[in-house]
Amino acid sequence: MQNLNTYILAIESSCDDTSCAILCNNKVLSNVTANQKIHEQYGGVVPELASRDHQKNIVPVVDAALKKSGINLYQLNAIAVTRGPGLMGSLLVGLSFAKSLSLALNIPIIEVNHMQAHILAHFIDDSAADENSLSPTFPFLCLTVSGGHTQLVKVKDYLQFELLGETLDDAVGEAFDKAAKIMNLPYPGGPLIDKYANNGDAYKFKFASTHVPGFDYSFSGIKTSFLYFIQNNLQKNEKFVEENLKDICASYQFHLIQVLLKNVKEALQKTGLKQLAIAGGVSANSQLRQRVKALETELGIQTFIPKFEYCTDNAAMIGISAYYKYLNNDFSDLSLTPLARLSVS
């Protein structure tokens, strides 16, 4: 009799998180991630340190994911791995490990596009079914917001994506992280700005925007205006940041979300799409989640907000993407190489 269950071991190592997940079809049996603390002191990810940490973490993380899943290596049907986009050295660690495992077990290897995976995390079946675990139906619009990318994507199918707009310079995650660094907060600054913003006045300070035609974004000018804003105020009052931290965070965060949602609304109107999903690390932001949810009544659309564990980098999203490729017999071979740049479409 044919085995109806497909077991996939997935590895994600594109940036600074080493993650391994085991999936049975579209369900996650385990999803273990080692975060790298070493970058905190540098205000951003240091590529060489990241790849060294991946090397240290990968065996224990894979071991832990297997133990937690209750599956043994010989039950696996395929190995999934992030091919790109990401840091070359970091990707190489995951890819080399995945290739060796696929060779040793004589099972196929499936390459996954990290940006597609952030979106497809919405199709993980978390059967503790509450209304938030519903998946979107095709086609839908996705705003993918992470440390390296800001994209508006029309998602046509599990394997078909159309890029409608993206950032021309910094990603919105970088706009959060760099502002945090300017205020001497540790990396990654996004979650901290989110936390302080909760009790601050979002209307107290105003920041500049860069107008970009179409659905593209630009965040580097906003970040520079933030830098000058802080420098000017520190000249007048050296305790300015300390005394206004919550209001600065709330106002800056509010501004970034306004910029993000402006294009989202225009894209919804122009495409006529009635479903909106958000994905990527910044989709963990509490204000962004609330503002997107509010669009349901404001625009009469349906919105999809990922569970927290599937916002920031994780291997479960790599596993779910690979599952749909597996069903399509879309396999790679051992000549597979990492790609630092890789388009979502």
Which positions lie near ligand KG4, rule CB under 6 A?
A: 15, 146-148, 173, 176-177, 188-191, 194, 280-282, 284-285, 312-313
- With contact defined as beta carbons under 8 Å apart, do 181 and 170 qualify? no
Binding flag, residue 313, Zn ion (CB under 5 A): yes
Number of residues forming the site for Zn ion (CB under 5 A): 2
Q: What angle do CA 44, 304, 115 make, to 5 degrees?
A: 40
CA atoms within 13 A of residue 40's CA, in its CB half-sphere = 8
Q: Residue 224 corresponds to which tokens in the numbers above?
A: 């520079």
- With contact defined as beta carbons under 8 Å apart, do 23 and 68 qualify? no
46 or 121: CB nearest Zn ion: 121
Residue 285 partner contact from ligand KG4, Zn ion, none using kind-dependent CB cut-offs of 5 to 8 Å: ligand KG4
State which of positions 129-188 bind Zn ion (CB under 5 A): 146
196 or 215: CB nearest ligand KG4: 196
**What is the pattern of x (binds Zn ion, CB under 5 A) and - over residues 82-121?**
----------------------------------------
3 state DSSP class of 333:
coil
Binding flag, residue 321, Zn ion (CB under 5 A): no
136 or 188: CB nearest ligand KG4: 188
Smallest distance from Zn ion to CB 124, Å: 15
Residue 188 partner contact from ligand KG4, Zn ion, none using kind-dependent CB cut-offs of 5 to 8 Å: ligand KG4
Q: How far apart are CA 274 and CA 204, in angstroms?
A: 34
Smallest distance from Zn ion to CB 88, Å: 16
Radius of gyration of the chain (CA): 20
107 or 315: CB nearest Zn ion: 315
- Give CA torsion, residues 15, 18, 24, 26, to 10 deg: -30
- With contact defined as beta carbons under 8 Å apart, do 319 and 293 qualify? no
Residues whose CB is less than 8 angstroms from the CB of residue 144 and which lie 6 or more positions away in sequence, other chains included: 115, 118, 119, 150, 151, 152, 153, 278, 279, 280, 344
12 or 247: CB nearest ligand KG4: 12
> Tokens 């040793």 belong to which residue?
104
Smallest distance from ligand KG4 to CB 140, Å: 19
19 or 102: CB nearest ligand KG4: 19
Helices vs strands, H then E, count in the chain: 9, 10
Binding residues for Zn ion, rule: CB under 5 A, are 146, 313
